[in-house]
Amino acid sequence: MKPAPFDYIRASSMDHALATLSTLREDVTVLAGGQSLLPTMNLRLSRPGCILDISGLASLRSISESSHSIHIGALARHIDVLESAVIHAHVPLLRQAMPNVAHAAVRNRGTFGGSIANADPAAEIPACCVALGATVILKNAEGERHVPAEEYFVGLYESVRQPDELLVGVDIPKRPGQRTAFHELALRRGDFAVVGVAAMFSTALRIVIFGCEPFPKLSPVGTHATSLADEESRTRIIEQAVVAMDPLANLHGDADMKREWARVLLRRCLADIAG
């Protein structure tokens, strides 16, 4: 199929993009890599009145390092993140997760910020951002605001981003000595996760179970999970995380099945971190 008719605007600058969003608001949809948007348009599941193409904004493609954080621009492609030496050195969770993001053709065009903006509950990047304690940077014509990733996602394909705001990047804090693990269950390598777990241990343990709830959120294991050395402690953490789940039943399995898969993946993640 082909998309319904729409207007097309190619942003010539950041100011142009923000002015367009401010004027059109709900009537405009942002195009970055297009790997999620264009298929839904072709199937007419999405019918935007106007497309704002920001792919030419080179300033949003950078991956950079400061003394305290790593910055990933919204237009950094998945393949850029996967192959970045900065990411390999300072964000091991993304190094582990990115090979699971779609397939090579999609990774060559899809963007890091586009995945976050789309807020798909089965996508790997939003879950990793929450686990890492990342900050999402939003900008409009009036200024800029920084939103913790765990507060950014609020529902199925829903976030706190306003119609006049553009997601311009993500800041991820540096955590020397961090230990991370990532496991997911998918029907095929590269498909969206049926259930997945992203985990990071630094001064405390941060676990995100994704793919089976409306949006990625931190499991309530909190700062008490400071010891992963023994099996009993890990089992207690797993059960605490699984009890807090509210999985959605679908064609892949009911809620109890999703919880059992989460237990298996959590056990693998905690064993990796402990090891």
Domain parsing of the chain, residue ranges: 7-53, 58-173, 179-274
**What share of the chain has pLDDT > 90, as a percent?**
86
Give 2's pLDDT tier (boundaries 50, 70, 90): confident
**Per-residue DSSP letter, 46:** -
What is the third-level CATH fold of 7-53? 3.30.43
Task: Please give the distance of CA 252 from its chain centroid, rounded to a whole number.
Answer: 22
Is pTM beyond 0.75? Reply is yes
The architecture that CATH gives domain 58-173 is: 2-Layer Sandwich (3.30)
Provide the 10 A C-beta neighbour count for residue 251.
5
Tens of pLDDT along 47-100?
999 999 999 999 999 999 999 999 999 999 999 999 999 999 999 999 999 999
Tens of pLDDT along 206-234?
999 999 999 999 999 865 556 787 888 88
Q: pLDDT at position 223, please?
A: 52
What is the third-level CATH fold of 179-274? Enolase-like; domain 1 (3.30.390)
Provide the 10 A C-beta neighbour count for residue 56.
12
Give exposure, 216-235, as e/b (b: 16+ Cβ within 10 Å): bbbbebeeebeebeeeeebe
